[in-house]
Amino acid sequence: NAGVTQTPKFRVLKTGQSMTLLCAQDMNHEYMYWYRQDPGMGLRLIHYSVGEGTTAKGEVPDGYNVSRLKKQNFLLGLESAAPSQTSVYFCASSRPYFNTEAFFGQGTRLTVV
Amino acid sequence: DAKTTQPPSMDCAEGRAANLPCNHSTISGNEYVYWYRQIHSQGPQYIIHGLKNNETNEMASLIITEDRKSSTLILPHATLRDTAVYYCIVRVLESNTGKLIFGQGTTLQVKP
């Protein structure tokens, strides 16, 4: 099973460039999440979605946009990348029950120069 | 804000039990405690979760105090491959989002 797949795995951007990170899950999960992790820190929630066509802000949403046009995909966009957005980005998905685990992707390492 | 408090680091001898504590004094009655670990900045890996009863699976045991204000993750026979950052998480129920709010975690170093 593929589980949660993130594309790309690595990327270097120049300041001001834009890009989209793709998260795809094949488990038919309703809930999807985008996190970022800076060196030596825990994961921080950027945006999340509780179903197709719905998104909401997390702890650190500034500078990011998201879309959930299809249930299996959750896209994270950076319209104008900044060096402060250099981080490792993780996507996760889960069923809509709080006694079930969330599954994480392997991360996208983004460097903005 | 994270709803859990963990020691920043711990050591454990290989083959011995690793006991990782977590405080979650503000946990609500129907919120679950989850444990994940992260090895070498890979994606977090699910370990175990519980509500109020002790739980055990093939990876670990979870002991939750009767008042639910703290818990302990037990790795019964730690190996070098268990060296990782361990996160204790309260899964947030507000607005039916099921968000996992991470804290700083405990870095467990298993030594030969």
A96 contacts B96? CB cut-off 8 A: yes
Q: Are strands A108-112 and A10-13 parallel, antiparallel or unpaired?
A: parallel
DSSP letter string, B53-92: S-EE-SS-EEEE-TTSSEEEEEETT--GGG-EEEEEEEBP
Cα-to-chain-centroid distance, residue B67 = 17
Share of chain A above pLDDT 70, in %: 99
A56 contacts B97? CB cut-off 8 A: yes
Name the residue type at position B74: I
Reported confidence tier of residue A97, pLDDT bands at 50, 70, 90: confident
B44 contacts A43? CB cut-off 8 A: yes
B98 contacts A96? CB cut-off 8 A: yes
Cα–Cα nearest to B27, from B48, B5, B9, B56: B5
**Is there a cis peptide before residue B8, judged by omega within 30 degrees of 0?**
no
B97 contacts A103? CB cut-off 8 A: no
Contacts of B41 in chain A (CB under 8 A): 37, 88, 107
The torsion angles phi and psi of B17, rounded to 5 degrees, stand at -75, 140
CA-to-CA distance for A41 and B105, rounded, in angstroms? 8
The 10s digit of each residue's pLDDT in A32-83 is 999 999 988 889 999 999 999 999 999 999 999 999 999 999 999 999 999 9
B47 three-class SS? strand
CA-to-CA distance for B74 and B20, rounded, in angstroms? 6
Contacts of B45 in chain A (CB under 8 A): 104
> Average pLDDT, whole number, for chain A?
94
Q: How far is B30 from chain A (nearest CA, A)?
A: 9
Which of residues A100 and A28 earns the better pLDDT score? A28
SS3 per-residue string spanning chain A: CCCEEEECCEEEECCCCCEEEEEEECCCCCEEEEEEECCCCCEEEEEEEEECCEEEECCCCCCCEEECCCCCEEEEEECCCCHHHCEEEEEEEECCCCCCCCEECCCEEEEEC
Nearest CB to B102; choose among A43, A99, A103? A43
| A60 in contact with chain B, both atoms CB, cutoff 8 A | no
Reported confidence tier of residue A8, pLDDT bands at 50, 70, 90: very high
CA-to-CA distance for B107 and B4, rounded, in angstroms? 15
| B9 in contact with chain A, both atoms CB, cutoff 8 A | no
Q: How far is A14 from chain B (nearest CA, A)?
A: 24
Q: How many CB atoms lie within 10 A of CB B29?
A: 8
Q: How far is A46 from chain B (nearest CA, A)?
A: 11
Q: What is the mean pLDDT of each run of 10 residues along chain B (112 residues)?
A: 87 97 89 93 94 94 95 97 95 75 93 96
